A and B are shown apart, each in its own frame.
Chain A
Amino acid sequence: MKTLDFASLTRRGAIGFGNVFLSIALLVTGGLAVPARAANPLAGSGTPAESTGPAAPSEVPATALIQPEALAKILKSGQAPKPVVIQVGFHVLYVQAHIPGSEFIGPASSAEALRKLGQHVAALPHTQLIVLYCGCCPWVRCPNVLPAYAALQQAGFTNVKVLYIAHNFGTDWVDHGYPVAKGD
């Protein structure tokens, strides 16, 4: 376990002071930093899905948010370079409906998913536009987007956006008629 300084994230507004106590230590796994807060009170020790207490997405700075309509326009425009879109929610949701071309990583409140995230972005330039999204729960209760965002910030990625999903993926993306793919 390696302890890293989280203050830089705090200064940049990525992690608010209200959550610093949960984020003091970072467990480095697979090249990405896993916030120490990512310990699931529901999972026993040693379970692979050790995940989360609340990791408030409100700590994601407003400048890092992207609205569904804006992302849909980008995807429709086919602009180059294409954003790398990553789903950090649960697999059953991904199989039912996901943003076409997005990569499934898994609930980023777990160390395992953050390891996968690290592997997935390892070869990307740090300026690459990466869009994270979940949609598992109402925005204020989503445990997955903040750990993923913080991990990418910590890894040095400078162009990371988080899709703002107010209610859930069904309501805020599928119901709006934005493009959807199914299956793995």
Chain B
Amino acid sequence: MRSSGTGLLIAAGLLLVPCSAARSAASAAERPTVAAARPLAPEFSLPALNGKQIDLAKYRGKVVLLDFWATWCAPCRTTIPRLVKLQKRNRDRGVQVIGISLDDDPRAVRAALRQFAFNYPVAIGDAALAERYGGILGLPVLFVIGCDGRIEHRYDGETDLEVIERRVETLLKRERCKAAEPHH
């Protein structure tokens, strides 16, 4: 269940969809609400519009916030400046934000990059990537990926970034995070 209400959104964040399951092919009843085993985040390699190639595998050892968004999506626009601040505060602490735009037109995304002064890489995604992440059938959707490359949480809709930051702090304190060696 998702809602624009913060409380429900937080609850919705507890929904974790297996990476291999195409959401549109599975009913709600078939999808687990709590991941029995934290699934590995599907790897991808995409050209960033504001930087080099984004290879998710290279961020192993960091906590990754993977944000699916679009330029015309109001909740997404609300979230972006907060993610920029979060990235600024935590860059040296092993946290990496990655934006995946689902815009149809890259020119709108490039304009947004100028407007929002993103300090994290942004690439344009497609339906295949969306389905590998369990289906992105509404925006925004933000995944928190642990240092070991496994999906910790999925947040659907506009989410309180403080909740996400607390989650990030928890992950950073985990032993396996400390032990993980960043690839770069």
Interface residues of A (CB under 8 A from B): 40-44, 47-52, 54, 90-93, 95-97, 106-107, 109-110, 135-141, 143-144, 166-171, 174-175, 177, 180, 182
Q: Given A48-B105, A174-B24, A169 and B127 touching (CB < 8 A)?
A: no
Produce 1/0 per residue, B63-75, CB < 8 A to A.
0000000111111
Q: Which B residues are CB-close (under 8 A) to A47?
A: 105, 107-108, 111
Residues on B with beta carbons closer than 8 Å to the beta carbon of A42 = 71-72, 77, 108, 111-112, 115-116
A44 touches B139 (CB 8 A): no
Is the pair A40, B127 in contact by a Cβ cutoff of 8 Å? no
Secondary structure type dominating chain A contacts: loop
**CB of B105, distance to nearest CB on chain A (Å):** 4
A170 near B73 with CB under 8 A, answer: no
User: Complex formed: what's the CA distance from A166 to B126 in Å?
Assistant: 24
Among B136, B139, B157: residue with most chain A CB under 10 A = B139
Q: What count of chain B residues pass the 8 Å CB interface test? A: 41
Cβ-defined contact, A171 with B72, below 8 A: no
Cβ B138 vs Cβ A170 within 8 A? yes
Cβ B75 vs Cβ A138 within 8 A: yes
Decide: A43 and B112 in contact? CB cutoff 8 A: yes
Q: Are A167 and B104 in contact (CB under 8 A)?
A: no
12 other A-B residue contacts (CB within 8 Å) besides A47-B108, A92-B104, A138-B4: A40-B111, A43-B111, A49-B108, A51-B108, A96-B24, A97-B24, A137-B138, A139-B4, A141-B73, A168-B137, A175-B27, A180-B24
Cα distance, A97 to B136, chains bound together (Å): 10
Task: Pick from A49, A93, A167, A180: contact of B72, CB below 8 A.
Answer: A49
Interface membership of chain B positions 1-43, coded 1 if the CB is closer than 8 angstroms to chain A and 0 otherwise: 1111000000000000000001110011000000000000000
Q: Cβ of A107 and Cβ of B74 under 8 Å apart?
A: no
Residues of B within 8 A of A177 (CB): 27
Q: Would you call B121 an interface residue if the criterion is a C-beta within 8 Å of the partner chain's C-beta atoms? A: no
Contact of A140 among B4, B23, B24 (CB under 8 A): B4
State the Cβ distance, A70 to closest chain B Cβ, in Å: 20
Query: Are the CB atoms of A135 and B72 closer together than 8 Å?
Result: no
